[in-house]
Amino acid sequence: MSEPLIFHIDVNSAFLSWEASYRVNTLGEEEDLRLIPSAVGGDIERRHGIVLAKSTPAKKYKITTGEPLVNALKKCPNLVIVPPNFDLYVKCSSELMKLLKEYAPEVEQYSIDEAFCNMTGTSMLYGSPVEFANKLKDIIKNELKFTVNIGISSNKILAKMASDFEKPDKVHTLFPNEISTKLWPLPVEDLFYVGRSTAQKLRKLGISTIGELADTDPEILRFHFKKHGEVIYNYANGIDNTPFEREPVKNKGYGNSITLSADLTDAKIAKQIILSLCETVAARIRADKAYIGVVSVSIVNFEFSHSSRQITLDSPTNVTEKIYETACMLFDNLWDNTPIRLLGVSTSHATDTAFEQYNMFDMDRFEKLSKLNNAIDSIRNKYGEDSVQRASFINSKQTHMTGGINKSKRNKRD
């Protein structure tokens, strides 16, 4: 039986690369965004505009993904900023997955710009894994006009860690016998699943490197981090028994949030924003032919204090109006009139089946609303999401569907 062999393919600065490739190879622009300090980001006039992707030259100015554009411009006043084009990114992602399926027996799409390829048993066909990975990397660059990193190992976590080594346009291996020299010397925050908060707690425990984490008593990690401690202990030791998913994993929940352009103190406006969030969330739920059982609302106030409430519904739903009514009730119970900086609506306990528990007041209201929602989705899918909107948003400064990066998802129907 062949030893497991996994490739992890990761597009280098995906949104920026796809944007640059399109502008040069399709629009014929002479300036390549990849070769100058540049970034893909939102509206710099609004406070929630952030860096979604940056070029390699932009990294020299210490510009980071996720930071506000106003901060990035302070670091690099000549930074070229272009708006995101999510339809293009979905198309580029689809082309990449299609190409990978031509060479790999199994492909698991991990995100819009990442995929795992199960290459087990292909050595007789392709020869040396490293040589073939370099060939595949060059095929992607020549045919699709953007670069990737490829990590190679015997399981997914090690392959993913390998692809994150030196970039761009590189192939790296991280097999079990290389863990002590390639993985363990790295700072603990470089480990997948170790975020800033977890890293800070680990450092307070005297754990600074991945090797030190791997050598820590797992009981200590379980005590401080519960189940998450066991996960990061296994990852630090290169242990990953995650099965290869041939089909995309279904969403367990859906949510959106927005950082407001000015601190908010008006409940009426807040609820209009909640409605715009619910419109987007519910459209995504219906696009996946799903139903959700839990609704939650989160608030971050002007002092960056976070609070949230959630409630389990009597029965699963995908109806915008029901999610909105529930979210408004949660908001009324949660908000203490402190100025709001961020609002979020999220849902969980997703399922692909539903029953509606009617009462004497609802009667068949939600069944009719569900049909109406689906009809509106069809119109928006065909003519654009702005083709139908609620009257409450006419002459309003608030967009009727708030969702940022998820716009491409809600415009894409199966």
141-187 confidence digits (pLDDT tens): 999 999 999 999 999 999 999 999 999 999 999 999 999 999 999 99
What the block records as the tokens of 150 is 């490829």
pTM above threshold 0.75: no
| Alpha helices per DSSP H over 185-226 | 196-204, 210-214, 218-225
Mapped to the 3 state alphabet, what secondary structure does 19-47 carry? HHHHHHHCCCCCCCHHHCCEEEECCCCCC
| Alpha helices per DSSP H over 242-397 | 267-287, 320-334, 365-383
- What pLDDT band is residue 387 in, cutting at 50, 70 and 90? low
What the block records as the tokens of 48 is 């929630």
Comparing 46 with 92, the larger pLDDT belongs to: 92
Q: Give pLDDT, residue 204.
A: 94
Q: Give pLDDT, residue 274.
A: 93
Comparing 165 with 71, the larger pLDDT belongs to: 165
- Ramachandran quadrant class, 104 (left: phi over 0; alpha: psi -120 to 50; beta: rest): beta
- Domains, in order of start, for the chain: 15-86 (3.40.1170.60), 184-236 (1.10.150.20), 254-410 (3.30.1490.100)
Q: What does the pLDDT average to over 17-38?
A: 94
Give the bridge partners for 149, in sequence order: 10
Q: Give pLDDT, residue 111.
A: 83
Q: Give pLDDT, residue 376.
A: 74
pLDDT at 190 over 90: yes
Residue 295: count of CB within 10 angstroms of its CB: 27
Catalytic residues: 114
Instruction: Give the type of residue at 405.
Output: I
State how far the alpha carbon of 116 is from the alpha carbons of 153, 176, 190, in Å.
Answer: 11, 18, 20
- What pLDDT band is residue 16 in, cutting at 50, 70 and 90? very high
Comparing 45 with 33, the larger pLDDT belongs to: 33
Q: pLDDT tens digits for 348-362?
A: 888 876 555 444 445
